[in-house]
Amino acid sequence: MVRKRFPDTHCSVARALNDVGDWWSLLVVKEAMLGTRRFVDFQQNLGIARNILCDRLARLLENGVLIKQDVGEHGTRYEYRLTEKGRDLFTVVTALRQWSDRWNGESDGPELVDRANGEPVRTVTVQSSDGRALDVRSVVYRDSSETDSAAG
């Protein structure tokens, strides 16, 4: 049950999408970031079909985004938890969330605040070496062999 993918592509973005590029994977990761750890909770909170959830969890395990722990307190219990690699998707998920809020209107979902002081987090941006916010037109994709390709 493996979609045709591009494991050996030269493109980093495509390789990232190999791991989390389909519809549900990133939602599973986002749900895990909200604290969800158990199969049934993922299934109910996301409204995902069981077999699809099974497949996505397995793939995220393979890709090292999640780990599976047996916590056999009451019957068969497993916990799916984010690895360091999975937690590192926080930036991606947050950027995506903010983008959606900017362009598709604010959601009534939870607000993301700094645990230390309760203040909202900043808008995620790409920054230059000295901290200026950069948009796509203020950068260049420079190949190692050639210098070209205006972006935008």
Partner DNA sequence: TGGGTACGGTTTCGAAACGCAACCGAATTG
Partner DNA sequence: CAATTCGGTTGCGTTTCGAAACCGTACCCA
Please list every residue from 38 through 57 that binds its own copies, using CB under 8 A. Answer: none
Answer yes or no whether residue 149 interacts with its own copies by CB under 8 A.
Answer: yes
Is residue 68 a contact point for its own copies (CB under 8 A)? no
Contacting range for DNA; rule: CB under 7 A; set: 67-75, 103-111, 115-123, 130-138: 67-75
Nearest distance in Å: CB 21, its own copies: 5
For residues 133 and 125, is the Cβ–Cβ distance under 8 A?
yes
Which range in 52-60, 69-77, 122-130 contacts its own copies by CB under 8 A? Answer: 122-130
Instruction: Specify the pairing of strand 78-82 against strand 133-134.
Output: unpaired
Residue closest to 59 by CA, chosen among 20, 88, 109, 13: 20
Segment contacting DNA (CB under 7 A): 9-17, 37-45, 83-91, 100-108?
Answer: 37-45
Question: Which phi and psi (to 5°) does residue 91 adopt?
Answer: -60, -45
Tell me how many degrees the CA angle 134-140-141 measures, rounded to the nearest 5.
120
